[in-house]
Chains A and B, each alone.
Chain A
Amino acid sequence: MIKRCVIGASVAAILAIMPAAAEPLRVKFGVLRQQHSSETLSILDLPAEDDTLAGALIGVADDNTTGRFTNQSFEAIDEKLAPGDDAVAAAQKLLDQGAVAILADLPADDLLHVADALKSRDTLVLNVSAADDRLREEDCRANVIHVAPTRSMLTDGLAQYLVWKQWRRWLVIKGSHPQDELLAAAYRASAKKFGAKIVDERVYVDTEGGRRSDSGSVQTQRLIPPLTQGASYDVLIAADESEVFGNYLPYRNFDPRPVAGSAGLVPTSWDASHEQWGAVQLQNRFRAQFHRGMNARDHQAWVAARMIGEAATRASSADPKALRDYLLGPEFTIAAFKGVRLSLRPWNRQLRQPILLGDGRMIVSVSPQEGFLHQTSELDTLGVDKPETKCRLK
């Protein structure tokens, strides 16, 4: 009994707020981020200067509120790459400054270079933007956690809803860039998986023009009907990752049919209009500090920062190995204002998560849809599942 009291008292003492307490445990992590393209069809989607970083900073603020009680302090070190900068050198710079983990907003190849350069260390890389399935499949790495959903998770999320709606016949229009083809391939796989039919697949060729003009709508409304006529379909799907034509489709397609995919009803991990499950609290905090809406990359960075915070709090440590052990261990789950707990797929380190379907004004639905069942987690109805994985972690 005495022993129990002593332990209790000491725990209480450690955890209680002590203004003149010992030096807090400092946890620093890096935010290694690329400059995202300003070639967006809508000016509402222009990336902010603090894109991605802002989400990490809100996460740090939340971590620090917790840290007041656990005597830990959190800090994000920003490292923004200019085009042509060496991502590996920048990652090294972050490590030299004491980063215990790296939040990476990088294209797939840069991400792999950084992961491979860090292979001998315990430092984890948290992918907060690259959607490429190959990073979780044939090119998977043991030291990378994927917070961002894959293309296949996004397209499966949309496909489940379209099938629920009985909109099973899809006309797909894809861009002419390699990533557009990857996205179109993901839609083909989703259609097959959930019983939809792609009635035709057409290409919108990027002629490398700009996005801004004084009277663009005049031309666009004449251009889109011919591109979209002559098919019998329920829903028009845009596979346009390069922002070349997606948002030109709604209201301009030949037949009065809804648009989904890269425009219209968009599958995403987060949207500034999402308010359910307490999300409005996070949206309020974000808007109050950064005076703009929180986008998917910001949210993914917030989740990653919270994951590091959780790991440091639960493991009572700032040691990269301890953080890694907690995050990759069986106990790890995280709350992210998406209605259910998020956890990692152990076979490829992908964060399981619901996919929001929104039109930029409202969240229309959230997948997985009711009725799509799975033996372990309904979230695993989204994306490449364990039996199909090509990942061999190393």
Chain B
Amino acid sequence: MKAIRNLGARFLLPFTGEGGPAQPGRMRVHSRQLSDSPSSAAHSRDAFSREWEKGRAFCSAAVAALLLAAPAQAFTAYVSNEKGNSVTIIDTDKMEAIKTIKVGRRPRGIEISKDNSEVYICAGDDDTIQVLDTKTLKITGNLPSGPDPELMILSPDGKTVYVSNENDNLVTMIDTKTKRQIGDVPVGVEPEGMAVSPDGRILVNTSETTNMAHLIDTQTKQIIANVLVDARPRFAAFKPDASELWVSSEIGGTVAVIDPQSHKVTQKIRFEIPGLSKEAIQPIGIAFTNDGKRAFVALGPANRVAVIDTATKKIEKYLLVGQRVWHLAFTPDEKYLLTANGVSNDISIVDAASLKVLKSIPVGAFPWGIAVAGK
């Protein structure tokens, strides 16, 4: 519903008479200003958009009912809406939002259990991780994280979820079956990015204000190395063959390539986009293709995703997506890459083979994370 309201606002925007450029991030304010305004044009358009919303709502409800009734064939994407306190569910074949579910406050990190039965959602302002049943789409319980959980990663065997808790400088380890904490590791200030090596042995956490990637032995639960990277590291990912660990630094504007054996930064990937200042390029989410040949890096307020050849580390292309692109996820068949665009309240669907942006789908307020469940 919220996304639809925003679409209505999109039509209204050119009539606001504001001096500056139309800014989707300010849409809600504009639409509210208009509904309070005595201008009849604004009123009739507002009325139009309300009617239109009703129609849309009816249609999407009908579609949702239809889809829920049919056996699930398509892939399902779950998008956490940081300000919407909701998760939008998307059918990736139909490329439509089919349902929005209310969840806890400030949902950000989102992961799906290996058997696709559960979605884990970090509800930061409720200091917990919620568990969503993918069949009933009901919240069935919680995982006991520390305060303000932000991002998490599942161990390759699916038995453990590793969580970064932004408010207490801790990484928490939780058994997904018993839903109990089995350990924690003190890390740097404002832990965020989480990655685990393909063999499950090395856990990586990035701390935003300490500017480090902490490499943790999952058996001993001890830090084995701390690697300094550029300012505000947000995300970490292992190349599928485990030969490299990539860490994005939002404020530093780089992706550090780390040798997981020597714990050294072997290379720094930098980005340059004509017409954009260096400050606007802020790498966040990283997604590798399964064969490890390509990486996609979300560049935040640059509104682009960089496509990188992992062998040469050269940037093949910049894909223009929505505003403030945050996290990324592939469909399991790697046909599509989905991007969460925080400020434009939508997700973009990228065709991974042709590197074309196919469609934007409106979701809730400030989409942050995406996870896609297999068939």
Known contacts A284-B167, A378-B279; A5 and B262 CB within 8 A of each other: yes
Q: Does the CB pair A66–B188 fall under 8 Å?
A: yes
Q: Which residues of A contact B (CB under 8 A)?
A: 4-5, 7-8, 11-12, 15-17, 62, 65-66, 68-70, 163-166, 278, 281, 284, 306, 310, 313-314, 333-335, 339-341, 369-371, 374, 376-379
Known contacts A12-B263, A65-B169; A374 and B208 CB within 8 A of each other: no
The residues of B that contact A163 with a CB separation of less than 8 Å are 19
Within 8 A of A (CB), among B194-221: 207-212, 214
Q: Does the CB pair B19–A69 fall under 8 Å?
A: no
Q: From residue A282, how far is it (CB to closest CB) to chain B in Å?
A: 8
Known contacts A62-B209, A340-B251, A340-B280; A12 and B21 CB within 8 A of each other: no
A-B contact pairs, 6 of them (CB 8 A): A5-B261, A8-B261, A15-B227, A340-B282, A370-B23, A377-B279
* Chain A residues touching B, majority SS: helix
Tell whether B226 is near chain A: CB-to-CB under 8 Å.
yes
Tell whether B45 is near chain A: CB-to-CB under 8 Å.
no
Q: Does the CB pair A66–B189 fall under 8 Å?
A: yes
Q: Does the CB pair A335–B209 fall under 8 Å?
A: yes
Q: From residue B336, how far is it (CB to closest CB) to chain A in Å?
A: 29
Q: From residue B232, how far is it (CB to closest CB) to chain A in Å?
A: 4
Apart from the given pairs A12-B263, A281-B166, A341-B231, 8 other A-B contacts in the complex at a CB distance below 8 Å: A17-B222, A66-B209, A66-B212, A68-B186, A335-B250, A341-B252, A341-B253, A374-B277
When C-beta atoms are compared, the residue in chain A nearest to B210 turns out to be: A66
Query: Interface digits, B151-194 against A, CB 8 Å rule (1 contact, 0 not)?
Result: 00000000000000011010000000000000000101110000
User: Cα distance A166–B223 when bound, in Å?
Assistant: 55
The residues of A that contact B223 with a CB separation of less than 8 Å are 16-17, 69
The residues of B that contact A378 with a CB separation of less than 8 Å are 277, 279-280
The size of the chain B interface, using a CB distance under 8 A, is 44
Q: Does the CB pair B264–A335 fall under 8 Å?
A: no
The residues of B that contact A66 with a CB separation of less than 8 Å are 188-189, 209-212
Q: From residue A311, how far is it (CB to closest CB) to chain B in Å?
A: 12
Q: Does the CB pair B251–A335 fall under 8 Å?
A: yes
When C-beta atoms are compared, the residue in chain A nearest to B279 turns out to be: A340
* The one of B23, B222, B263 that contacts A11, using a Cβ cutoff of 8 Å: B263
When C-beta atoms are compared, the residue in chain B nearest to A9 turns out to be: B262
Q: From residue B122, how far is it (CB to closest CB) to chain A in Å?
A: 15
Q: Which residues of B contact A (CB under 8 A)?
A: 18-21, 23, 166-167, 169, 186, 188-190, 207-212, 214, 222-228, 230-232, 250-253, 259, 261-264, 277-280, 282, 301
The residues of B that contact A15 with a CB separation of less than 8 Å are 225-227, 263
Q: From residue B212, how far is it (CB to closest CB) to chain A in Å?
A: 6
Q: From residue A96, how far is it (CB to closest CB) to chain B in Å?
A: 31
* Chain B residues touching A, majority SS: loop
When C-beta atoms are compared, the residue in chain A nearest to B324 turns out to be: A339
User: Cα distance A340–B324 when bound, in Å?
Assistant: 13
Known contacts A11-B262, A65-B189; A370 and B278 CB within 8 A of each other: no
The residues of B that contact A165 with a CB separation of less than 8 Å are 18-20
* The one of A4, A12, A314, A340 that contacts B228, using a Cβ cutoff of 8 Å: A314
* The one of B169, B226, B262 that contacts A16, using a Cβ cutoff of 8 Å: B226
The residues of A that contact B279 with a CB separation of less than 8 Å are 340-341, 377-379
User: Cα distance A340–B259 when bound, in Å?
Assistant: 28
Q: Does the CB pair B226–A281 fall under 8 Å?
A: no
When C-beta atoms are compared, the residue in chain B nearest to A336 turns out to be: B251
Q: From residue A205, how far is it (CB to closest CB) to chain B in Å?
A: 35
When C-beta atoms are compared, the residue in chain B nearest to A343 turns out to be: B279
The residues of A that contact B278 with a CB separation of less than 8 Å are 377
Q: From residue B338, how far is it (CB to closest CB) to chain A in Å?
A: 24
Q: 9 shortest A-B CB distances, which residue pairs? A: A8-B262, A340-B279, A335-B251, A166-B19, A69-B226, A335-B231, A66-B210, A335-B232, A341-B251
Q: Does the CB pair A371–B20 fall under 8 Å?
A: yes
User: Cα distance A12–B222 when bound, in Å?
Assistant: 12
Q: Max chain B CB contacts within 10 Å: which of A68, A163, A314?
A: A68
Q: From residue A214, how far is it (CB to closest CB) to chain B in Å?
A: 38
Q: Does the CB pair B210–A69 fall under 8 Å?
A: yes
Q: Does the CB pair A70–B252 fall under 8 Å?
A: no
The residues of A that contact B222 with a CB separation of less than 8 Å are 16-17
Q: From residue A48, how far is it (CB to closest CB) to chain B in Å?
A: 23
Q: Does the CB pair A333–B251 fall under 8 Å?
A: yes
Q: Does the CB pair B251–A11 fall under 8 Å?
A: no
Q: Does the CB pair B224–A16 fall under 8 Å?
A: yes
When C-beta atoms are compared, the residue in chain A nearest to B186 turns out to be: A68
Q: From residue B203, how far is it (CB to closest CB) to chain A in Å?
A: 15
The residues of B that contact A17 with a CB separation of less than 8 Å are 222-223
Q: Does the CB pair B20–A11 fall under 8 Å?
A: no
